[in-house]
Amino acid sequence: MKHALNVTREKDFAAWYQAVIAEADLAEDSGVRGCMVMRPWGYGIWERIQRLLDDRIRAAGYDNCYFPLFIPLSYFEKEAEHVEGFAKEMAVVTHHRLVGDGKGGLMPDPAAKLEEPLVVRPTSETVIGTAFSRWVQSWRDLPVQINQWANIVRWEMRTRMFLRTAEFLWQEGHAAYASAEQAREETLKALEMYRSFAEDCVALPVIAGEKPENERFPGAVATYSIEAMMQDGKALQAGTSHFLGTNFASAQNIRFQNSQGEQELANTISWGMSTRMIGGLIMVHGDDDGLRVPPRVAPWQVVIVPMLRETDEDAAILDYCRSLAGELTALSAFGEPVRALVDTKATKASAKRWGWVKKGAPVIVEVGPRDVASGNVAVLRRDRLYGEGGKLATGFLPRGEFVGQVAGLIEEIQAALHGEARARLEANIDRGVSDFAGLEAFFSEKAQFPGWVEVQWSRPTGAALDGVVERLKALKLTIRNTPMDAAAVDGTCIFTGEPAVERILIGRSY
Amino acid sequence: MKHALNVTREKDFAAWYQAVIAEADLAEDSGVRGCMVMRPWGYGIWERIQRLLDDRIRAAGYDNCYFPLFIPLSYFEKEAEHVEGFAKEMAVVTHHRLVGDGKGGLMPDPAAKLEEPLVVRPTSETVIGTAFSRWVQSWRDLPVQINQWANIVRWEMRTRMFLRTAEFLWQEGHAAYASAEQAREETLKALEMYRSFAEDCVALPVIAGEKPENERFPGAVATYSIEAMMQDGKALQAGTSHFLGTNFASAQNIRFQNSQGEQELANTISWGMSTRMIGGLIMVHGDDDGLRVPPRVAPWQVVIVPMLRETDEDAAILDYCRSLAGELTALSAFGEPVRALVDTKATKASAKRWGWVKKGAPVIVEVGPRDVASGNVAVLRRDRLYGEGGKLATGFLPRGEFVGQVAGLIEEIQAALHGEARARLEANIDRGVSDFAGLEAFFSEKAQFPGWVEVQWSRPTGAALDGVVERLKALKLTIRNTPMDAAAVDGTCIFTGEPAVERILIGRSY
């Protein structure tokens, strides 16, 4: 069977991923090392993610703010463990002016060297914590809960669009509480917000759990993540939430007077989700014809393609399409107006249809002169593109019937994409491995689509954990997280043979 | 009469401006040179501006994208005139890693020096034009119309919150067209979008017109602006739109094959509006009690303050306030749901009331136990705070009556703020100056609140214009713009004595 992309997932998953990004006009290389250009369809998906996640962040009682892009070097020096974790990969501003280099080019002006270099934010705990130390004086000032939508720079050596870029976009939530208990609880609330957002909005089935000690955010007491399974069986960490205890508060002097008049350190938390989510969306929902965008995050849910032929009939076709779009946008799906577009570009209708298939618009409607005459529409569901015999499963139905069904159809497509991905996730977590030899055998046998294993362990720490990490690394594996809802333990640790204390997920990862 | 701020506009306008920013919790110094922290109320106003302007940008047929923060030095070297205009004030990234300095601190790693320094974008014509050169091949690819919401860095020596900061937030529209005529027309459409947005949404009366040659954007053929009059009589440029001709297209090789098969250079335009708009909003609408936010851009339009006393009555008061807020948010003003907040913070009601007065919430409602018993509300309009005798003009009315009136009230406050500012602008443009001596006399007599003059000139260029600029500079004056809707000329140039060709606005500026 022929497909719209010239590479399949099975043949070369990495090449397929790049092909989807290019063919769906999601993003492209910018010419600036490690930075991409997010094109309208890719950025439109990000705007939908922003809108839906932002609503949840506000509902959780967070206020949006904006903090500086630049962080003075000295801010990092205060938090030793934190900087250790990030020091390898930061962009540093050292000059504030350019001058001619005398050879017709430009160079940083040696006379304009900054006294203190500025780091382009790799995350904002240090600069936001400094603000918290000004804002928090008394227990009455707590909690402080703020969020920012911002660009972030981490100087990655090997970059990959959406998954790992030098500059990326994200939101970062930061909060300070009076007690460690409350801060831990709120860390988990943020995790649950991410889990339900990923499942409900991005149709991305995820496992929420705690990261092992060696995968903690630099300076954190505990890090939690949501992990999604890609179609190559690898894991993608799609959002993290960190309990920072008093580590950052101590370095940044976030203190408050409690109701007994005593000075205490606040407990802080932070959590972030980024444009990486779009990489996950591609690798979970894409197929050999391109992307399939879950309707809730699709910039356009219904795209209407008029079949124009530069004849006198064109005007009537366009009228028909525009009035149809008007009817659709007056409807609601998921509590929002339906997003419908008439694609009037000066391109052949079949090219437009395949363009929207590759972009993954959930519903594609084609309108030709005969449809106008008969009052019909030709409807293509992106999630079920082909019927029997490999032909496009275009449905022909009266316009009124389509309009009556479309909101339900949009909700059905969202559920279908989620159901498909959820079934794949559940079918590919193996719980039968009970010793390290079993683990080795499992992953050597299932090289193509390994999936994950859930095993029991004794949660070793320090050097013992380092040993475990090394053994896994030799198999190209990592511990993903300790699922929140895992079953109780009933066996021994696959690494140490000691009695197990919890279950962990192990897999290959992005 | 006593006011909520401890400095008045009349006494010290600059100190008053800083006081409003601090007391209204709009922004604060970040500790990072030239960068501010935008706090929730200030950032909330920006989010409202974004939402309303973004709707207009989309309606104009622009798509949102995202381009890299970093621009390689070589991109600037291509556009000589452009870099000349910006070269003085750019942040330059030279290293991509930090290392320990051997003294317990950190420093840029000498082994991680970038081969080509990266400039933090001071505007994105160069990097976006490079993308356009990839996207545009044929006349069928035109027009290309994109917009981005982004942070921008210009290394300003003297900074002032919202008006001139090293980092600021903005949107930048960029488009390429086949013909110069169309590009010029679209430049003016963007200008008109800014004008109507400023007037309708921010209640900011502005004069739209063309900037003189010496004030053009570096590399532009023509620059247009909207100019607003602050309450100290100075002018603030609140948005600009640039016709770039083929200057950037030539440097960046944006070429297309026309319908005759010939290669042509595209004509490009760009236009931007920034967080500076909030500085204008403050200086146009603020008063001696703080800010007054026009309802369309107010994060909360109605703030309900429950008068809690830690007694048994509190629960009933909170219920009453919450159900009132529920009724209000079900209403619409300006085609959007009314934004109503119940302020439940653990602070005294009078402190909360004055806090919201200083923040400038359009309508403040207070609810005490007696209001609950009688089914009333106490309503304060922020734009008409005081009644006769200087007392707060609180209106007491039945809850149902208030709910019935509130949408109209919100629209009335928007119109009142606009009307007040419009009257001030119109009253303070003097059209009676007909020679340079008259100009000198005008501005020496009116040192406190100079306002602007509209005069006739012969539009000198080159060295003659430089002379004019110098003469004005000695009076601390600049040419603001040539208003689009100025009357026809009927006299001589106040600088050259030659026959006038157009009218220009002259004033002091921010």
Residue B157 CB contacts under 8 Å (≥ 6 apart), including other chains: none
Q: pTM for the whole thing?
A: 0.96
Q: Is residue B172 within 8 Å of residue B148, measured between CB atoms?
A: yes
User: Exposed/middle/buried for B328, CB within 10 Å: 0-12, 13-18, 19+?
Assistant: buried
CB nearest to B97's CB, from A72, A88, A346:
A88
Residue range(s) in chain B whose domain bears CATH number 3.40.50.800:
300-415
DSSP 3-state of B487: coil
Beta strand segments in A246-339, E: 255-257, 263-265, 267-274, 302-306, 332-333, 336-337
Q: Where in chain A is the domain with CATH 3.30.930.10?
A: 13-285
Contact A127 B30 (CB under 8 A): yes
- From the list A69, A87, A140, the residue facing B98 with the nearest CB is A87
Give me the residues of chain B with pLDDT under 50, please. Answer: none
**Residues B238, B257: Cα–Cα separation, whole Å:** 37
Write out chain B residues lying below 8 Å of A106, CB-based: 73, 76-77, 83, 87
Looking up tokens 């940044």, which residue turns up? A252
In angstroms, the Cα distances linking B383 to B286, B292, B294, B361 are 10, 7, 9, 9
Cα separation, A469 vs A457, in Å, equals: 13
Q: Counting one residue from A and one from B, how many pairs have CB atoms under 8 Å apart?
A: 196
Q: Which residues of B touch A155 (CB under 8 A)?
A: 96-97
pLDDT of residue B102: 83
Q: What is the pLDDT of residue A89?
A: 85
What is the DSSP secondary structure assignment for residue A504, as one 8-state letter?
A: E
> Which of B73, B93, B120 best tests the A interface by mutation, with the highest count of A CBs <10 A?
B93
Question: Rounded to a whole number, what is the distance in Å from the CA of A88 to chain B's nearest CA?
Answer: 5
Q: How distant is the Cα of A329 from the closest Cα of chain B, in angstroms?
A: 15
Mutate to test the interface with B, among A26, A29, A30 (most CBs of B within 10 A): A30
**Sheet with A502-507: strands ordered across:** A429-430, A452-457, A502-507, A478-479
Sign of CA pseudo-dihedral A165, A166, A170, A171:
positive
Query: What CA–CA distance (Å, rounded) separates B273 from B240?
Result: 7
Phi, psi of A73 (to 5 degrees): -50, -40
**DSSP annotation string for B257-277:** E-TTS-EEE-EEEEEEEETHH
Query: What are the residues facing B145 on neighbouring strands?
Result: B175
Minimal CA separation from B447 to chain A, in Å: 36
HEC profile for A81-150? HHHHHHHHHCCEEEECCEEECCCCCEEECHHHEEEEEEEECCCCHHHHHHHHHHHCCEHHHCCEEEEEEE
Closest residue of chain A to B69, computed from CA coordinates: A167
Give the contacts of A307 (CB within 8 A, at least 6 positions apart): A317, A349, A366, A367, A368, A369
Among all chains, which residue has been given the structure tokens 């000691």? Answer: A498
Q: Please give the Cα distance from B242 to B221 (Å, whole number).
A: 8
Nearest CB to A108 within list B40, B117, B169: B117
Contact A495, A457 (CB under 8 A): yes
Contacts of A251 (CB under 8 A, 6+ apart): A78, A79, A82, A129
The span from the CA of A223 to the CA of A241, in Å, is: 6
Chain A residues in contact with B37 by the CB 8 A cut-off are: 65-68, 131
- Cβ A479 vs Cβ A472: under 8 Å: yes
Q: Rounded to an integer, what distance in angstroms lies between the CA atom of residue A210 and that of residue A215?
A: 10
Q: In angstroms, what separates the C-alpha of A90 from chain B's closest C-alpha? A: 5
pLDDT, position A87: 65
CATH top class, domain A13-285 = alpha beta
Among candidates B44, B22, B30, which has minimal Cα distance to B355?
B22
> At a CB cut-off of 8 Å and minimum separation 6, what does A142 contact?
A136, A176, A177, A178, A256, A266
Contact B76, B126 (CB under 8 A): yes
pLDDT, residue B86, reads 63
- What is the DSSP pairing of strand B332-333 with strand B336-337? antiparallel
- Phi and psi at B227, nearest 5°, equal -120, 130
- Look at the alpha carbons of A492, A496, A499, A505 in this order and tell me if their dihedral is positive or negative: negative
Distance CA B385, CA B393 (A): 6
Residue A414: which of A329, A301, A332 has the closest Cα?
A301
Contact between A31 and B130 using a beta-carbon 8 Å cutoff: yes
Contact A149, A294 (CB under 8 A): no
DSSP string spanning B338-391? --EEE---SS-HHHHHHHHHHHT-SEEEEE-HHHHHHTEEEEEEGGG-B-GGG-
d(CA B32, CA B37): 9
Please indicate whether, in this complex, the C-beta atoms of A89 and B70 are within 8 angstroms of each other: no
Q: How far lies A470's CA from each of A117, A467, A495, B339, in Å?
A: 36, 5, 11, 55
Rounded CA gap, A114 and B92, in Å?
Answer: 10
- In angstroms, the first-to-last Cα distance of chain B is 30
- CA pair distance B142, A191, nearest whole angstrom: 45
Provide the pairing of β-strand B106-108 with B98-100. Answer: antiparallel
Asked whether the beta carbons of residue A95 and residue B92 sit closer than 8 angstroms, the reply is yes
**DSSP SS3 for B408:** helix
Distance spanning both ends of chain A, measured CA to CA? 30
- pLDDT (0 to 100) of residue B87: 65
Tokens 């003059």 sit at which residue? B453
The rounded radius of gyration (Å) of the Cα atoms in chain A is 26
Q: Which of A209, A135, A220 is nearest to A183 (CA)?
A: A220
Residue of chain B minimizing CA distance to A101: B77
- Cα separation values, B212 from A370, B163, B360, B435, B484, Å: 57, 21, 36, 19, 13
B13-91+124-285 folds as BirA Bifunctional Protein; domain 2 (3.30.930)
The set of long-range contacts for A24-29, using a CB threshold of 8 Å and a minimum separation of 24, is A24/A290, A24/A291, A24/A358, A24/A359, A24/A360, A25/A359, A26/A161, A26/A162, A26/A278, A26/A282, A26/A291, A27/A161, A27/A162, A28/B131, A28/B134, A29/A161
Q: What is the DSSP letter of B135?
A: H
Q: A372: which 2 tokens?
A: 């106008």
| Pick from A342, A354, A218, A375: nearest CA to A291 | A354
Where do the CATH 3.30.110.30 domains begin and end in chain B?
A: 429-507
For A335-352, b/e burial (b = at least 16 CB within 10 A) is eeebbbbbbeeeeebeeb
Distance from CA of B271 to the nearest CA of A (A): 18
B83/A106 touch (CB, cutoff 8 Å), yes or no: yes
Q: How many residues does chain B have?
A: 510
Check CB contact under 8 Å for B106 and A77: yes
In whole angstroms, give the CA distance from residue A107 to residue B114: 12
Give, in degrees to the nearest 5, the angle at Cα B256 between B255 and B257. 140
CA distance B210 to chain A (A): 30
10-residue mean pLDDT profile of chain A (510 residues): values are 92 97 97 94 98 98 98 85 72 94 88 96 95 95 97 92 96 98 98 98 98 94 98 97 96 95 98 98 98 98 95 94 98 97 91 97 97 96 93 95 98 98 97 96 87 97 96 97 96 96 97
- Report the chain B residue with the minimal C-alpha distance to residue A146: B40
State the residue for tokens 């920034």.
B274
CATH number of B429-507: 3.30.110.30
Distance CA B359, CA B291 (A): 5
Cα–Cα distance for residue pair A500/A231, rounded to 1 Å: 30
CATH topology classification for A300-415? Rossmann fold (3.40.50)
